[in-house]
Structure 1
Amino acid sequence: MANASKRSAFRMLSGLTLAAVLGTAVLAGCSGDNDGKNTNAPAANGGTNAKTGDGNFHQEGMPIVDEPVTLNVLTIRWGNMGDTFTKNAWLQDLEKRTNVKINWQVVSSNDWGDQKSVMLASGKLPDVIIGDLAFGDSDIVNNLGIFRPLDEYIEKDMPNLKAAMQESPELKKLSTFPDGKIYSLPARLPSRPVSSVQPVINKDWLDKLGLKAPTTIDELYNVLKAFKEQDPNGNGKADEIPYSDSGDLDMNVLAPFGITDLRGNHMLVKDGKTEYFPTSDAYKAGLEWAHKLYAEGLIDKETFTQDSTMLTAKRQNPDAALVGFSYQWTPDAVFGQWSKQYETIAPIAGPDGNKYQLGEPNGMSFRRNEMLITTTAKYPDVAARWADEFYTGEASIQNFWGAIGTTIAKNDDGTYTLMDPPDGTSADAWYWDGSLRDFGPKYASPSFEKNIKLDPSSGDGLKLQLDNLGKEYVTEPFPDVMYTAEEYADLPTLTTDIDSYIASTRAKWITKGGIAEEWDGYVKKLNDMGLEKLVKIYNDAYARYQDVK
């Protein structure tokens, strides 16, 4: 889930500051030969425009164009992943079928920050941008003049996406910007779970101590206490750490109190109403419980001071397993040689007897900003029709795992299975090498997903198996809303101080107590810091999202 963590961080209010850069374009092959002229408005003659030539473009059937057209397509890849995905057999076949040639511009995420500013300042842009790693919501909202509204193209040139939006309305809600237009195309990834991270516990320790997996916070307390006091790793040392984290308390520890925060903005939706949970009674009760655990040594004393390297060293201690309980994507995620000792368990019930699981009821599969067409693109209708080919089931799985016949086997019964990766290569690395993976347009419908057969013992298949433990308890998260340019300008100022105060106060109350005496003053200070304005921004964005039909 390292890449998933990066994605979340990259999306969080990535405000774009455009310096006055007068350098040359840094990406060869971008569409800089139009002198910045916008000659791309949809023509009224059924989609043909001057740039595609008289009768060259076809709104239906293949090829898309009679005479070949080249699109300059930019995508960003993590680190040094490179461009091996361009050899994907489906992508190469698409070029042959459509007569649309792709000039791929592949940039490392390590270099993109600087290159993005230069590109936007120079006005030298590619025709198409693929993947939400390139431009986030605020980048687009603050630069609407260079990204083409796509509503008309979806209506006339993209029957696959149009049908997908009708089947899954979330796609349209997710993609509609505050001005009511769609500037970027969405995705629904295949075979994604409903649950996000889930509780993971050391099963070997439970067995050695004759304990059952905890189901309530009282049982969890007793298990953690036994982990601390009864030497479950058997090395004769009192070195067991019931729970540990780095920098802060994982908010999922408060999930039994109904606190789930998928967007990381402290907002919940309960019974159709939004709530800012750091001022709620549930949050207060959760911190009081966490203080009890900390005071009795059941939460690592270094949780609020150690970094991720120190935490990893504890989780992967070479001599014996040290950590008893955690929240992870899968149980084999972080514990190194001790991974087989851990198992995922069902959500822990809270004081009200209910269980709450972090996740997305519609599936952890929806994305936006997966494709943009720039206003300098010569052939926007060609680009739209080309993109629409990605919105089928077979196209989606081949752009998520790899091509049929290379990574995926298509079986005689109409099902699809994943092949084993080559020796010395992990499955995940193999998928990234051979496909766009998380990035780019996709739509795997719920009905198509029934034909995908994954190995339940590892990878994506294992997560789907573990999902059965928690998916019925997944709470409704605050949706992935978008904000206006004015709201994006205000959000960093408000959240920087407010979030910092909440985090520091949380650490103080868990480690030293005092929440009952200081609660009213804490709420007053938040209000003095502009909490009312912050919550109004969230609620206004939520209302706009709900209004999209």
Structure 2
Amino acid sequence: MKMRNKPARLITVILSTVLLLAGCSEDGDSKKASANFHETGLPIVDQPITLTIAGTYDERTGTKWNELETIKEINAGTNVSINWNLTPGTDWTTKRNLIIASGDLPDVLLKLSSSQVVTGGADGMFIPLENLIGKYAPNLTNFLDSYPEVRQAITAPDGHIYSLPLANMSEYKHADGNTLWINKEWLKKIGMDMPKTTEELMKVLEAFKERDMDGDGNPNNEIPLTGVYGDAQYGLGYLFGSFNTIDESFIVQDDKVVFVRATEEFKNTVKYLSSLYQKGLIDPDTMTQNSTQLIAKISSSKQASVGAFFAWSADQITNAEYRWDYGSPMIPLVGPGGHQITPRNNLQMTPGMLVITKANKYPEATMRWVDRAYEPEMSMKLREGPNRLKKLDNGTYDTIPNPENFTAGEWKVKETPYNDFVYGFSQELRDKQVLPAPEPGQLDPDFDEWYEAQIPYMKPWVFPNIMFTDTQFKSIERYQTDIKAYTDKMEAKWVAKGGIDQEWDSYLETLNKMGLSEYAKVYQDGYDTNKANLEKK
């Protein structure tokens, strides 16, 4: 019996030796990698490494990010180079979902939803970052210490941080990015003042439709009003404030979470939009076009052919020949019930802007590299464009105006990924900018004066930036897709064809059958937990 066990013992010894040697080899590789990495100073690594980063891009900037002045500066002296795998914004959601589903991960992923961050973190697809931040990201640490609400927004309910943010904490960003611009030169032609009510807006648009506003002899080719249906920046949301609501899925009123699309206020808004559409005052393309098509429509002709549109800024997207024909954005219109509100938005934040995946062999080096984006002056350049900034002797930054061959928007994003990459922009940086004073009658949402003009009408109803638990996110996914698709379909149908009064009761009944109360409860529970956590601090 003992003789029979000898081969088995020999095999065991051999296997143990092999495993021990393998372990030593792995430790040796780890030590070698550690020796290659520097915790401070430059280069970040002795031997060059390449990281693959997948994300989306602004078409005005393009895909050659390694040639951008901002990225060149971030890369300089680090021995870290980047292989950018970038997808157009209109396709990124689909591409991102395919990447995650395939499991064939790049080293870094950009611009994820909060649910994808939490779920991917819980599943081990994305690595926890809080320790790496503490050790290797002093710039980001300083920013998070200055703005605890950003740290809270990126902290998952399990206590881990799986993503790095884009955050613009300038106070003026509380103003809504969706507003209405009306061609004041057209108003002069029709002898009408800037509308102050929804009724007056309808009369203005009717006049735009009936007359030859561009003087080409054809009174039927002008567009009274256009936008991008369902878009947060270019959509029709501005008009919701005239009916005592805002264009969000959920809002919070007196600590109660409300699903907007099941309210009388939503119903009244849709009826007004439908009345505009039925009269031919809303461009039919609004229901199908994207933001690129909208911008081309309002900027490509030699003279203005659009009477009014929804956007953040006319100055940045219209033709230079008539950009100021649109004057200033408008304070909220007074609705039939006397309502005149705009949301007090959460400050601009994308909590899931960057994750480091489990495929990444150099997480420490990656964290040191990306922390360079959070250095205050670099965040200023990423946000504002280095070609637009001139640093003055007193430490402030003057703004270099756009050349004639660039629109303001094109000039701003010429040398920066802008809102498709991380940065931490503070109110302190905002205060260092020497901003041009607005011309009389030419307020722009980038001016603090515009924000201040909105304050009297702001309502703090926007659902806060929070991270739900993995279980809550999965519950949200269970209901959200079908409910959103159904409400989108019905809203679009009612705007284009009417019928909301006749179908309203059956619509609410269908929503209840689809699980609206359970869907809303997840948001209420998440809000209550978040509020309780805040009160403990």
TM-score range, shorter chain: 0.7 to 0.9
Does 1:529 pair with 2:514? yes
Which of 398, 405, 424 aligns to 1:443? It is: 424
Which of 149, 154, 162 aligns to 2:141? It is: 162
Does 1:396 pair with 2:396? no
CA distance in 2, matches of 1:338, 1:410: 31
Distance 1:215 1:386, change over 3 A: same
Q: Per-residue deviation at 1:472?
A: 4.7
Q: Indicate if the aligned counterparts of 1:370 and 1:439 stay in contact, CA closer than 8 A.
A: yes
Q: Indicate if the aligned counterparts of 1:77 and 1:106 stay in contact, CA closer than 8 A.
A: no
Q: Indicate if the aligned counterparts of 1:243 and 1:326 stay in contact, CA closer than 8 A.
A: yes
CA distance in 2, matches of 1:381, 1:201: 51
Q: Which moved more, 1:161-170 or 1:337-346?
A: 337-346
CA distance in 2, matches of 1:316, 1:433: 18
Q: State the superposition RMSD in angstroms.
A: 4.2
Match of 2:259 in 1: 276
- How many residues matched? 487
Does 1:143 pair with 2:120? yes
Which of 416, 425, 441 aligns to 2:397? It is: 416
Which of 66, 83, 99 aligns to 1:105? It is: 83
Distance 1:471 1:199, change over 3 A: farther
Q: Per-residue deviation at 1:506?
A: 3.0
CA distance in 2, matches of 1:108, 1:378: 21
Match of 2:18 in 1: none
Does 1:300 pair with 2:282? yes
Which of 339, 342, 351 aligns to 1:357? It is: 342
Residue type of the alignment partner of 2:427: P
Decide which structure has greater helix share. Answer: 2
Does 1:214 pair with 2:214? no
Q: Indicate if the aligned counterparts of 1:85 and 1:436 stay in contact, CA closer than 8 A.
A: no
Match of 1:452 in 2: 433
Residue type of the alignment partner of 2:237: M
Q: Per-residue deviation at 1:182?
A: 0.7
Match of 1:384 in 2: 367
Q: Indicate if the aligned counterparts of 1:391 and 1:442 stay in contact, CA closer than 8 A.
A: yes
SS of 1:72's equivalent? strand
1:310-361 per-position Cα deviation (integer Å, ceiling 9, x unaligned): 977875695975543332221246665654432322221234534222562x
Which of 342, 360, 375 aligns to 2:326? It is: 342
Which of 58, 73, 80 aligns to 2:51? It is: 73
Match of 2:3 in 1: none
Match of 1:330 in 2: 313
CA distance in 2, matches of 1:271, 1:64: 53
Distance 1:385 1:228, change over 3 A: closer
Match of 1:18 in 2: none
Distance 1:323 1:463, change over 3 A: same
1:120-164 per-position Cα deviation (integer Å, ceiling 9, x unaligned): 7566643xx2632xx443443343213221222333443432332
* Structure 1: runs of 5+ lacking an equivalent: 1-33, 40-48
Q: Indicate if the aligned counterparts of 1:349 and 1:355 stay in contact, CA closer than 8 A.
A: yes
Q: Which moved more, 1:155-164 or 1:195-204?
A: 155-164
Residue type of the alignment partner of 1:326: F
Report the identity percentage.
25
Q: Per-residue deviation at 1:57?
A: 4.4
SS of 2:355's equivalent? strand
Match of 1:473 in 2: 457
Q: Indicate if the aligned counterparts of 1:304 and 1:507 stay in contact, CA closer than 8 A.
A: no
Match of 1:495 in 2: 480
CA distance in 1, matches of 2:502, 2:516: 21
Q: Indicate if the aligned counterparts of 2:256 and 2:524 stay in contact, CA closer than 8 A.
A: no
Match of 2:243 in 1: 257
* Structure 2: runs of 5+ lacking an equivalent: 1-21
Match of 1:434 in 2: 415
SS of 2:383's equivalent? coil
CA distance in 1, matches of 2:100, 2:261: 40
SS of 1:368's equivalent? strand
CA distance in 1, matches of 2:486, 2:104: 40
Q: Indicate if the aligned counterparts of 1:267 and 1:478 stay in contact, CA closer than 8 A.
A: yes
Residue type of the alignment partner of 1:520: D
CA distance in 1, matches of 2:473, 2:333: 36
Residue type of the alignment partner of 1:180: G
SS of 2:265's equivalent? helix
Match of 1:202 in 2: 183
TM-score by length of 1: 0.73
TM-score by length of 2: 0.75
Residue type of the alignment partner of 1:394: E
CA distance in 2, matches of 1:470, 1:255: 12
CA distance in 2, matches of 1:351, 1:407: 44
CA distance in 2, matches of 1:321, 1:479: 39
Q: Per-residue deviation at 1:478?
A: 1.9
Q: Per-residue deviation at 1:414?
A: 1.3
Q: Per-residue deviation at 1:440?
A: 3.4
Q: Per-residue deviation at 1:104?
A: 0.8
